[in-house]
Amino acid sequence: MENENKYSKTCNSIEDTRELAKRFANIVKDDGCFVNLFGDIGAGKTAFVRLVAEALGIKEKVTSPSFTILNEYHTGVIPVYHFDLYRLENVGIKTITDELREYSESDCLTFVEWAEFSQGEVPFDRIEINVTYDDDDNRCYTFTAIGDKEKNIIRKLAEE
Ligand SMILES: Nc1ncnc2c1ncn2[C@@H]1O[C@H](COP(=O)(O)OP(=O)(O)OP(=O)(O)O)[C@@H](O)[C@H]1O
Ligand SMILES: [Mg+2]
């Protein structure tokens, strides 16, 4: 598809998602990226993070950080930080916006699940991934770039 800010990929199996995650990992492995993940419970947000981590050589198995807010992984080619803001529902993302900004400015790969628990958007460049599914193992991953570096990542993703 589409315009320079967006890329969508339908994955019919977990293997397809693994392939997409590998391609994404390969593009962001040097400079990192800040990623917000959206989608219903069970859509495949954590699954994508797990598969990207796998592609980056991270040895630990990525699990949902719901009860810890943040999990970090330092055994791969780039540090990976995985936030899950589900439990911040009532206080909202505002309480940690400054902290998230720091992660967005360093050379690491940061994923944030449930960033919609915010009153507004995070005020910095990022990629948003929206995950939808209708049935079984079909998942649609839509990437949207907010920022120039991010547009470049999406362009590469669409090219391959
Ligand atoms: N093509 C696919 N891509 C990704 N996950 C898939 C696919 N097919 C099946 N699945 C399964 O869907 C489930 C997705 O669960 P996951 O924990 O990633 O959801 P989530 O979006 O993180 O939900 P939550 O909001 O609860 O954190 C996993 O059990 C995964 O194995
Ligand atoms: Mg999850």
Nearest protein Cα to ligand 1, atom 3: 14
CA atoms within 13 A on the CB side of 101: 9
- 3-state helix/strand/coil string of 90-136: CCCHHHHHHHHHHHHHCCCEEEEECCCCCCCCCCCCEEEEEEECCCC
Domain assignment present for residue 45? The answer is: yes
Q: Would you state the structure tokens that stand for residue 5, as one six-digit string?
A: 């800010």
Nearest protein Cα to ligand 1, atom 4: 44
pLDDT of res. 30: 95
Domain assignment present for residue 1? The answer is: no
pLDDT of res. 1: 47
CB 29 within 8 A of CB 58: no
The whole domain housing 127 covers 6-159
Ligand 1: residue of 41, 84, 114, 138 to mutate (most ligand atoms within 8 A of CB) is 41
Return the sign of the alpha-carbon dihedral for residues 149, 155, 159, 160.
positive
Domain assignment present for residue 81? The answer is: yes
Q: pLDDT tens, position by position, for the chain (160 residues)?
A: 457 799 999 999 999 999 999 999 999 999 999 999 999 999 999 999 999 999 999 999 999 876 778 999 999 999 999 998 887 766 666 678 888 888 988 899 999 998 776 555 677 899 999 999 988 899 999 999 999 999 999 999 999 7
Instruction: Give the total number of structural domains in the chain.
Output: 1
**CA-CA distance, 154 to 121, in Å (whole number)?**
20
CATH number of residue 115's parent domain = 3.40.50.300
Instruction: Kindly report the pTM of this predicted structure.
Output: 0.94
Domain assignment present for residue 68? The answer is: yes
Site residues for ligand 1, CB cut-off 6 Å:
11, 13-14, 16-17, 39, 41-47, 64, 113, 137, 139
**CA-CA distance, 36 to 97, in Å (whole number)?**
13
Nearest protein Cα to ligand 1, atom 10: 137
Q: What is the number of other CB atoms lying within 10 angstroms of the CB of residue 45?
A: 27
What does the buried/exposed string (b/e) look like for 97-109 if buried means 16 or more CB atoms within 10 Å of the residue's CB? eeebeebbeeebb
State the distance from the centre of ligand 1 to the C-alpha of 83, rounded, in angstroms. Answer: 16
CA atoms within 13 A on the CB side of 94: 6
